[in-house]
Structure 1
């Protein structure tokens, strides 16, 4: 989830203007948008920004937000925001905010991608709005000045050495944290979940809305839960899609650790797909039986640990850890299984030159790598004990070989400056207006973590469980039944009376 999900979420470019820097304070003014009278905020100047063949009617603007909310009139950052107005004013009941995941996903891009399906499902019930959080896309950015070698996904994520050693991870994590401390400054330190929720409330005011409805995904579910905790009277119909454990002592550290179990839960879906006779016609069948796919994969990764194979990307061989990371990326959606199976076949074929998936083919841009870490490192203190991490990695590798100890390993967060604020504890205090939706076999936000979010919210929430795999349920890796239930809740307010399962 610490979506650490898929590299494309981090590399998505905003439809809005080039990233802004810290600006002078912007005066507060009444937003020139529809909404509740008496709600004020900074003015938004909207401009058309729909791309050819994209979401018609999409508009973009820049929202000024304080660098530090303790000094609201001090230096300001700028957030890229976007909207698509309801095409049925008589049916409009308010604004639906799309809260992106990541950290590092662009809400502007997400709305452009999901907007057509979402607009059809909502049938004019809402203006659809989203934003690029601090550090993302068209919003104010920061950079750590990292070397390219430290900006690959397989180095930002601390995959241990072939023998399980973590000395290289320790050195790299310390180097990255020190670079961010030197170069990131106050802007980087402001990338926190608490500030993102404050920014959302500033956006609400700028839109002229007394309340917002929301669809939050992945890491965005934690953002959405924190907003609902801090601003309960400003929430209307709230959907949390693909949820993580909100334990305030761990937060993103717990999400990363949970990936070990998430991969184990999800891998049988890939194994069944890769052994299906239908793959024979596609030239992608990896084994005759599903139970043979796992040992095949583990043996291949171990071989690549010993003998990396040159790929079509110059200077970037296919290693065991790149193959493992490609697996983590592919577990996101069934639609990525073919790419992974093809990579496995190319790795097995002595005459083939593997084509690396985008997720593992090269370094992230420095600003994306910075945001990738900052939002999770700034939220909570991470342990830095090297001996403790060695023990944890050894145990995790034995229990969960698919992830080879990476989720338990040390990260740059272990050497990060202490958080400026304590994490938010999610409680049952507030209106009962939350619908959680969750796949049972989610590789990034495993089901057992979602149950902890459910318990924390108490009677505020109802949980809809789908016997399905993949990450990101609504209008994505879910089912028709799940989509109908979420759409009904957002458009009519009708929510299951109790926690329930969806079939079909």
Structure 2
């Protein structure tokens, strides 16, 4: 949860076969010019283990099938004629009149480390209106899923990793926590040495500009969510003249370093927990978690303290620890739709049954029901640590703990200790924070949600300011959950659709509720 995100798997032989099949799907480039490559769109295979496994995507309502291809991109963008890697793509073609088609609308759903090839089909029906004028396109960024995936530890090792105590209370627990983090980072270096130096957000942004050209678009039309907003901002900085119609939703604050970001997330998840407690205790029926807002939070805190001393049965043979319970609570706060599962999970945990909270935790960590993990954690760590320059020491975290606890008694310590995840990373970080200044760019619609736990609302204003005068246009949604467009709020969707479909830029400062 130090880098909150989301989600399965196939046998190794199947994965190897998929790589073999897809290696030839990138088409050929003329004289080494990768912009001239032709994509060979085919029916999509079942997701690979690194993407989370499962079944091949079902057609959209109406019958449109999803198509997949692989784009060749330089492994090292400083050597564009050198070795290449495959970037996995997925699309659903526009279903409106051909003379109304604008081009491709490229999605990144965040993480970093989330597979766009699996996420876009899962939410494709939500973008039906946008498909009237765009091909819907997404991709696995480099290091993710089927795009030269970062690989670190095995499934059994990851089970141990997520069972560890991530909020050490004494020297012995701290030593174990530090050692476990070193082991994970060393496994990443051993198993993914070639790709690790080349998974920065700037590399992914350059891949997107190549993608724009290979897809045949003069401008990149883009919809970025969560970390996808950072990627979109970095793209706008590098290629301001190539920005088409772009929307950034659930906005990462581009001015913050990792410490500030972790503190902001602690505050954001605490706000969401406060809102959950208020909602539960304001319903006509009795709140099963507590009679008052304060009692709800106090009982959750006691549950976690009890689990720190003695875990309870979860999904056999694993037991629900304090760390996994905290993960499960965090996952349920991403959306108000999940609050009923949080209530159920807490009720069960009070009775000694940790299954629901563990299921929520598994979802956050990318673990399938059959015990296999996507490469979400590996990619998330690799991209985050390659991007961020600061490296924090245990002594520094110890000094910062009071500040984090003040921000959130429940989530603060968890977020603080998570800052050690990059301390022994084998690749140096690029910068304190990303550069998203984009003078000369077309307008970019920036949508902030006042109740967002993972990307606090203040980040939207900071993104607008950082993009520069005349570029960022802020829209506020007074709601709950991570993101705004997927809340199905009519005001938000009307503004976003109006811009993407018709080029109508909303007035700055519009508020939707």
- Tell me the TM-score normalized by structure 1: 0.87
Provide the residue aligned with 1:439 in structure 2: 449
Aligned equivalent of 2:168, options 157, 161, 169:
161
Q: What does 1:70-89 align with in structure 2 at a 5 Å threshold?
A: 70-88=78-96, 89=98
Provide the residue aligned with 2:38 in structure 1: 43
Distance 1:354 1:210, change over 3 A: closer
Aligned equivalent of 1:272, options 253, 278, 283:
278
Q: What does 1:391-470 align with in structure 2 at a 5 Å threshold?
A: 391-409=399-417, 410-419=419-428, 421-422=430-431, 424-459=434-469, 460-470=471-481
Distance 1:18 1:307, change over 3 A: same
Task: Tell me, in whole angstroms, the C-alpha distance in 2 between the residues paired with 1:123 and 1:176.
Answer: 41
Q: Tell me, yes or no, if the aligned pair for 2:325 and 2:358 is still in contact at 8 Å.
A: no
SS at match of 1:77: strand
SS at match of 1:387: helix
- Tell me the TM-score normalized by structure 2: 0.85
Provide the residue aligned with 1:207 in structure 2: 215
Provide the residue aligned with 1:33 in structure 2: none
Matched, 1:491 2:501: yes
Distance 1:12 1:372, change over 3 A: farther
Per-residue deviation, residues 98-125 of structure 1 (Å, max 9, x unmatched) = 1221112111222212222212x22521
Per-residue deviation, residues 160-213 of structure 1 (Å, max 9, x unmatched) = 135696333222222222222233212132221011111111111111111121
Q: Tell me, yes or no, if the aligned pair for 1:146 and 1:176 is still in contact at 8 Å.
A: no
How many pairs were matched up?
A: 482
Q: Tell me, yes or no, if the aligned pair for 1:3 and 1:444 is still in contact at 8 Å.
A: no
Task: Tell me, in whole angstroms, the C-alpha distance in 1 between the residues paired with 2:9 and 2:260.
Answer: 26
Matched, 1:100 2:102: no
Q: What does 1:63-462 align with in structure 2 at a 5 Å threshold?
A: 63-88=71-96, 89-119=98-128, 121-122=129-130, 124-145=132-153, 148-150=156-158, 154=162, 159-161=166-168, 166-247=174-255, 250=257, 252=258, 254-278=260-284, 280=286, 285-311=288-314, 313-350=315-352, 352=353, 354-361=355-362, 365=373, 367-409=375-417, 410-419=419-428, 421-422=430-431, 424-459=434-469, 460-462=471-473
SS at match of 1:378: helix
Task: Tell me, in whole angstroms, the C-alpha distance in 2 between the residues paired with 1:66 and 1:454.
Answer: 31
1:51 deviates by 3.4
Q: Tell me, yes or no, if the aligned pair for 1:276 and 1:285 is still in contact at 8 Å.
A: no
1:138 deviates by 2.5
Identify unmatched segments of 5+ residues in structure 2.
45-55
Per-residue deviation, residues 111-158 of structure 1 (Å, max 9, x unmatched) = 212222212x225211211111122223222312457344567469x8
Distance 1:497 1:367, change over 3 A: closer
1:310 deviates by 1.6
CA RMSD, Structure 1 to Structure 2 (Å): 3.1
Q: Tell me, yes or no, if the aligned pair for 1:373 and 1:413 is still in contact at 8 Å.
A: yes
Distance 1:62 1:147, change over 3 A: closer
Q: Tell me, yes or no, if the aligned pair for 2:405 and 2:413 is still in contact at 8 Å.
A: yes
Provide the residue aligned with 2:47 in structure 1: none
Task: Tell me, in whole angstroms, the C-alpha distance in 2 between the residues paired with 1:390 and 1:150.
Answer: 26
Distance 1:151 1:41, change over 3 A: farther
Which contiguous aligned blocks of 4+ residues in structure 1 show a shift greater than 6 angstroms?
Answer: 20-26
Task: Tell me, in whole angstroms, the C-alpha distance in 1 between the residues paired with 2:355 and 2:269.
Answer: 23
Distance 1:426 1:375, change over 3 A: same
SS at match of 1:415: coil
Provide the residue aligned with 1:34 in structure 2: none
Q: Tell me, yes or no, if the aligned pair for 1:39 and 1:209 is still in contact at 8 Å.
A: no
Per-residue deviation, residues 17-52 of structure 1 (Å, max 9, x unmatched) = 83579979985249xxxxxxx994321001133734
1:354 deviates by 3.9
Q: Tell me, yes or no, if the aligned pair for 2:386 and 2:429 is still in contact at 8 Å.
A: yes
Q: Tell me, yes or no, if the aligned pair for 1:380 and 1:418 is still in contact at 8 Å.
A: no
Q: Tell me, yes or no, if the aligned pair for 2:240 and 2:442 is still in contact at 8 Å.
A: no
Task: Tell me, in whole angstroms, the C-alpha distance in 2 between the residues paired with 1:244 and 1:451.
Answer: 10
Per-residue deviation, residues 375-425 of structure 1 (Å, max 9, x unmatched) = 101112232322111222344234411214121224331111343744642
Distance 1:123 1:196, change over 3 A: closer
Q: Tell me, yes or no, if the aligned pair for 2:105 and 2:222 is still in contact at 8 Å.
A: yes
Per-residue deviation, residues 446-471 of structure 1 (Å, max 9, x unmatched) = 11233222221232111111111110
1:96 deviates by 1.0
Task: Tell me, in whole angstroms, the C-alpha distance in 1 between the residues paired with 2:320 and 2:265.
Answer: 22
Distance 1:153 1:128, change over 3 A: farther
